[in-house]
Amino acid sequence: MTDLERRIAEGVSELRARFAEQMKATPSLADPAPQGDGPKNRHGMPKEPPSQNVLEKDEWPVLDLGQTPEIATDRFRLVLDGAVENPVTLRWEDLLALPQADEQADFHCVTGWSIIDLAFRGVRFETLAALARPTAAATHVMTYGSDGYSTNLPLWEALKPDVLLVHTVEGKPLSTQHGGPARIVVPQLWAWKGAKWVNRIEFLGHDRRGYWEIRGYSNTAHPWRDDRMW
């Protein structure tokens, strides 16, 4: 283990311990069957949330504010700042030097479609957080895309191990239209919680609503509880 890997592993266990109770109290981990008791394969969840249509992987729609920033990997920067002991700016090579993770996860869009079992590869959010070391006051994050988008998350959702900064999907580089070179994916929540073209993760000592949350989307965004608006 390198020094960096050891520091990250220590940071991750400290954060998991700090937020363990709140993580356990959230629907994806707390409810054995929040929408009934159909076939289950996702932390005790049915395969797709209520009223969702399952699309094939090659039918993955593109949804965003209408701009598609082109970010070459040599211009990629990810700022981790706010309520942290160690603010950092990561370049592409820094990102790839961090421990990499694979997650087979689902992608649920509030407009009514879900894609099941996408193979995501990237860096776990908890790895990034362990690097930046959230202060004792940190409770939430705001994530920003370079198109002006933002979306907020409580740390007890962001720190779940399947939350990734994704750079590879199904073995191929994440496409520009889906937020490449790197975006956040939060499989347990509606897809708007994952900023495409992410360039900043700001740690906060209180909650603050992001782009769609200000405009009436649910702040909790749990598909399994049908949290869609407000």
Locate 213 and state its tokens.
């949350």
Instruction: Based on the shown chain and the rule CB under 5 A, indicate whether residue 203 belongs to the binding site for Mo ion.
Output: no
Alpha-carbon span 49 to 34, nearest angstrom: 10
**Widest CA span in the chain:** 48
Q: Choose between 133 and 151: whose C-beta lies nearer to ligand MTE.
A: 151
3-state secondary structure 118-154: EEEEEEEHHHHHHHHCECCCCCEEEEEECCCCEEEEE
Establish whether the linkage from the previous residue to 181 is cis, with ω within 30° of 0.
yes
- Mark out the alpha helices in the chain (DSSP H runs): 3-24, 27-30, 92-97, 125-132, 155-158, 211-214
* Min dist. Cβ of residue 111 to Mo ion (A): 6
Nearest residue to ligand MTE, scored by beta-carbon proximity: 145
* Min dist. Cβ of residue 68 to ligand MTE (A): 9
Residue 65 binding target from Mo ion, ligand MTE, none, CB below 5 to 8 Å by type:
ligand MTE
Q: Phi, psi (5° rounding) for residue 18?
A: -65, -35
Instruction: Based on the shown chain and the rule CB under 5 A, indicate whether residue 192 belongs to the binding site for Mo ion.
Output: yes
Measured between alpha carbons, how far is residue 145 from residues 148, 151, 202 in Å? 6, 9, 12
Residue 178 binding target from ligand MTE, Mo ion, none, CB below 5 to 8 Å by type:
ligand MTE
Residue 145 binding target from ligand MTE, Mo ion, none, CB below 5 to 8 Å by type:
ligand MTE
* Min dist. Cβ of residue 45 to Mo ion (A): 20
Locate 11 and state its tokens.
């940071």
Alpha-carbon span 80 to 200, nearest angstrom: 6
- The site for ligand MTE (CB under 6 A) is made up of 60-65, 109, 145, 147, 149, 178-179, 191-192, 194-197
Residue 224 binding target from ligand MTE, Mo ion, none, CB below 5 to 8 Å by type:
none
Residue 120 binding target from Mo ion, ligand MTE, none, CB below 5 to 8 Å by type:
none
Q: Choose between 133 and 168: whose C-beta lies nearer to ligand MTE.
A: 168
Q: Choose between 91 and 228: whose C-beta lies nearer to Mo ion.
A: 228
Q: Name the segment binding Mo ion (CB under 5 A); options: 13-21, 61-69, 79-87, 181-189.
A: 61-69
Task: Give the interface with Mo ion as residue ranges (CB under 5 A).
Answer: 63, 192
